Amino acid sequence: MKDKSLDPFHDAFRHVARTLPGAELRWLRVARSSAFDQFDALGLPTTRQEDWKYTDVSAIGKHAWHFAPQHPGGTGRIYDSEMRRSVDELALDPAGYRLVFVDGRHVPRLSKLNGLPHGVFVGSLARALREMPQRLEPAIAANTYADGFAALNTAFMADGFAVVLPPGEVIDQPLHMLFLSDEAGLAAQPFNVVLAGARSGCTIVEHFVGLSDEDYWTNAVTRIVADEEADVRHYRLQQEGPKAFHVASVVVAQQRGSSFASHAFAFGGALSRTGIGTSLNAANAQATLNGLYFVGGRQHVDHHTRIDHADVHGTSREYYRGVLDGAAHGVFNGRVVVHPDAQKTDAHQANHNLLLSRDAEIDTKPQLEIYADDVKCTHGATVGQLDENQLFYLRARGVEERMARSLLTYAFARDVVERVRIDSLRGRLEEVLLAHTPEGARIRELL
C-alpha cells in the first residue's frame, strides 16, 4: 500500500527535478530518479528500526517543507550587508580559503579561494557538475542507501562543496565550508564530495550555522575517498538554530596507508542526527573519530559511528564526550567491526557522558564485533554526574559550588576541544563552550 505521508515529497520532486543542477546529465537524472525510488521504498526511519530506536524523526515527515530557496544563493536580499557581517564574524581566518552557502546554495561573492595550488579543484558541487561531471559520477551514481535520508539527499541535491586533489598535492590552510540557514520551511540537501589522490592532504571545516529562530531542515551528505597515503582531516561544527532539524552522514573509503581524522561538534538544533562511518579497505590505514555534544533544554542529539577494519594492520581511535543539561536527550552508538582479513588490528573506543540535571538522558551503546583472532581492541562507556571528590577539592579551596561545577563541566568538555589542531577553530570552540557553561564569563576571566 502506498504511504500517503510521502505524497508531499513526490510532489516536490516532480516540481524541482528538472531545475536541479546537472539535470542535463543523463547519468545524474538516472541517479536522482533511482535515489528517489529507494526513498519511496525506505521512507523516513522510525523508532521500530534498531538504529533509530531512540531518535524519533516523525516531526520531519509531518512538516510541509519546500526544497528550493526563495532567494537562491542569497540573491535579492535586502540585508546583504548583514550577511557579509555574519560571514566575517564566523570566518576562521579572514584571509583563508572559504566557501559560503546560504540556504543550501553557493554564494561566490561571500567566498574566498584565491591562491589555490595549480590542479586542485575546490568549489561548489554545481560548478563541479559543469566542469568535471565524470569525476563525480562514481561518488553519486550506483549507490545504495542506509536510510531514506541519504536517498532523499541524492534525489534533491542541488549544491554543496567539491574538493578534488591530484596525487601528491597538499593544501596547508584549512578549507572553511560555511553553511548559513535562515529561511523558514526550507529543506536544504547539501551533497559534498572529497576526492583525495595518493599522498595528498587537506583539512576541511564543515560549519553549519542558523541565523534565525525559524524552523528549517538541513539534510547533508559528505562522501570522502582517501587514496594511498592520503591524509584527510575533517571537522564538523553544528550550530543550527533552536528550531532546526539537522540530519547528516559522512561516508569515508580509505586505501593503503591513508589517514582520516574526524572531529564532530554538536551544539545547536532542536533535533540533530549525525552518522560518521569509515572503511579501512587496505593495509596500514588509520582512522580517528573524536566528538563532543553539549546540549540543554529539550534538545535531542544523536551520533552514530561505524569503523570497518577490512584489512591488516589497521589502527582506529574513537573518543566521544557528551554534556547534557535540562531535559536534553543524547544518543551515542559507536560500532567497530573487525573483519576476518583484518589481522593485527588495533582499535580503541570510548564514550563518556556528563548529566547535569535529573531530567537529562543519554542512551549509549558502544559495539565491538571481532571476526579476526590476532587483534588488540577495547571499548567502553560511562554515564554520570560531576565527581563529588573533585567538587569537594575545589570547595575546600574556597571555590563556591556553582563556580566549581562550572569549572569541572568546562574541563570535561574541553578535553575534546584540545584535540583540535586548528588554532582559530580551537579558540572558537572554547568560546562556544564558555557560552554554554554557567559562569562562563567568570571562567574566561580566570583563563
The amino acid at 334: G
Residues 245 and 393 both lie in one domain: no
User: What pLDDT sits at residue 1?
Assistant: 47
Among residues 258, 282, 306, the one where a domain terminates is: 282
Q: Say if 195 falls within a structural domain.
A: yes
Q: Does residue 379 belong to any structural domain of this protein?
A: no
Check whether 224 has a pLDDT greater than 50.
Answer: yes
pLDDT tens profile 300-330? 999 999 999 999 999 999 999 999 999 999 9
pLDDT tens sequence across 243-297: 999 999 999 999 999 999 999 999 999 999 999 999 999 999 999 999 999 999 9
Residue 329 lies in a domain: no
In this structure, is residue 367 part of a structural domain? no
Place of cell 538522558: 361
Confidence of residue 84 (pLDDT cuts 50, 70, 90): confident
Domain count, the chain: 2
Domain co-membership, 265 together with 406: no
Is the distance from CB of 198 to CB of 167 less than 8 angstroms?
A: yes
- Do both 112 and 231 map to the same domain? yes
Edge-to-edge strands of the sheet including 231-239?
105-106, 97-102, 175-181, 201-210, 231-239, 259-266, 286-295, 315-324, 346-355, 376-384
Residue at 406 is within a domain: yes
> 171 and 32 in one domain?
yes
| SS3 (DSSP) at 302 | strand
- Indicate if the pLDDT at residue 73 is higher than 70: no
- pTM equals 0.96
Domain final position from 282, 310, 334: 282
Q: What pLDDT does 258 receive?
A: 98
Cα-based angle 265, 281, 248 (whole degrees, multiple of 5) = 30
With a cut of 90, say whether residue 153 has pLDDT above it. yes
CA nearest neighbour of 321 among 259, 412, 226: 412
Question: CA-CA distance, 272 to 255, in Å (whole number)?
Answer: 30
Among 222, 254, 282, give the residue marking a domain's end: 282
Q: Which of 287, 179, 286 is nearest to 240 (CA)?
A: 179
pLDDT value for 95 = 87
How high is the pLDDT of residue 83? 83
Q: What is the pLDDT of residues 8-48, one digit of tens each?
A: 999 999 999 999 999 999 999 999 999 999 999 999 999 99
How far separated are the first and last CA of the chain, in Å rounded?
61
Give yes or no for a contact between 363 and 331, defined as CB atoms under 8 angstroms apart: yes
H or E segment at 152? Answer: helix 148-156
Determine the structural domain holding residue 439 and report its residue range.
387-447
